Structure 1
Amino acid sequence: MNASRDQFDEAMGQHAEVLARLEELETLRSREKEAAEAQREALDAQLLVEREAHEAEKAAREMLEAELEEVKSRAARDAERLKLEGKKEFLKSPEFYTLLGKKAGGFFKNDFLGCVAQWRANGYPEEEHPASFLNVQHAIAEMPDEEEAQEEEEDEDEEEGGVGSEATPPSSPLS
């Protein structure tokens, strides 16, 4: 019986050691589980922060893209406005009138020579009916100057004596 008792005591001691070891393992396991849970929560929080940062970057990028589009459209409008202003200024410049005069002179000369060539081709007898206007230099010299034409128009308007809708009514003595 003593031997059984010793074996029982020894088995109980081993059992107590196994239980203690089991408790240690369970404690260690719960600690590891808690650590894993804490790590998982930290990773979830980090993931949430990174998602929020990504969304903020995405919103900032979209806002910058919208601002860029607005700046591009404003720049295009300004460029078009400046182009129109430059065109208007050029149309008022003496350089434009010089170019216009050169073009008009070229057209006049070419059209004039074309008309003269058609008259000659159709048998216009220059000997019988000399026409001084067939000479280009003479025709240009005979053309009225723009200032003279404007003066003539003004003279004609003055001769009409204010007849029509352009006449200004006499001012009243009360005003």
Structure 2
Amino acid sequence: MVKRLTRAHRRANASRQKFDESLGRHAEVLARLEELEDLRAREEEEARSQREALEAELLAERETRVAEKEAMRAELEEAKMRSEQEAERLKGEAREEFLKSLEFDVLLGKRAFSYFKDGFWGCLAQFRAHGYSEEEHPASFLDLQQALMKLGDEEEEGDEDQEEGEVGDDAEGNPPPS
């Protein structure tokens, strides 16, 4: 029996020793687990703070872009208004320059001659339609060439009258060149 008790006692000691070793390992694993949980919590907190910082930075950047976009839109509108005003000014200047040009005078002369010619032929047709005979009543105003020459003479006289009015009394003594 002593042998049995000794064996049982050895077994109990061995079991207690294994239990103590297991408890030591368990305590080490628990300590390591707590360290890992603390490390994980810190990492999560850092990640959360980084995410919040990035979200704040993104929001600030969006606001900056919106403000820049609005500023660019306002600048574009201002430039558009200035360019429209400049275009209107240049258009007005070009119109004034064209009205003073020889090209405008030529176009105006052609248009006036066209109206005069059409009007002349229209009047002549009306005279003829109402039985007016050119042989019985010769009229110098029915001759287109003569009417044009007379019109040219009237323009020259108008120019001479303007020149005389500008020069004054000295123009009366000197006849204008023809």
In which range does the TM-score fall when normalised by the shorter chain?
0.7 to 0.9
CA distance in 1, matches of 2:111, 2:41: 94
Corresponding residue for residue 57 of structure 1:
65
Of the three residues 145, 149, 159, the one matched with 1:137 is 145
Instruction: Please provide the CA RMSD for this pair.
Output: 2.7
- Tell me whether 13-22 or 110-119 shows the greater mean CA deviation: 13-22
CA separation in 2, counterparts of 1:129 and 1:65? 78
Structure with the bigger percentage of helix: 2
Q: 1:44 aligns with which of 48, 52, 59?
A: 52
* Residue of structure 1 equivalent to 2:101: 93
**Shift of residue 130 of structure 1?**
0.8
1:142 aligned partner, one-letter code = K
Structure 2: any 5+ residue segments left out of the alignment? 1-7, 169-178
1:68 is aligned to 76
Q: 2: distance between equivalents of 1:83 and 1:155?
A: 37
TM-score by length of 1: 0.78
Task: Kindly name which structure, 1 or 2, has the bigger radius of gyration based on alpha carbons.
Answer: 2
* Alignment partner, residue 111 of structure 1: 119
Match of 1:28 in 2: 36
C-alpha separation between the residues in 2 aligned to 1:17 and 1:121?
136
- Which amino acid letter does the alignment assign opposite residue 149 of structure 1? G
Aligned with 1:123: secondary structure? coil
> Hey, what's the Cα distance between the residues in 1 that align with 2:162 and 2:127?
33
SS at match of 1:126: coil
Aligned mates of 1:152, 1:86 — CA distance in 2: 31
Partner Cα distance (2:12, 2:111) in 1: 134
Structure of greater relative contact order (alpha carbons < 8 Å, 6+ residues apart)? 1
Secondary structure of 1:118 counterpart: helix
Q: Which amino acid aligns with 2:158?
A: A
Alpha-carbon offset, residue 17 of structure 1: 2.1
Q: In 2, Cα distance between the equivalents of 1:122 and 1:11? A: 146
Q: Percent identity?
A: 39
Distance in 2 separating the partners of 1:147 and 1:135: 20
Question: Is there any run of 5+ residues in structure 1 with no aligned partner, and where?
Answer: 159-175
1:78 lines up with 2:113 in the alignment: no
Which residue does 1:162 correspond to in 2?
Answer: none
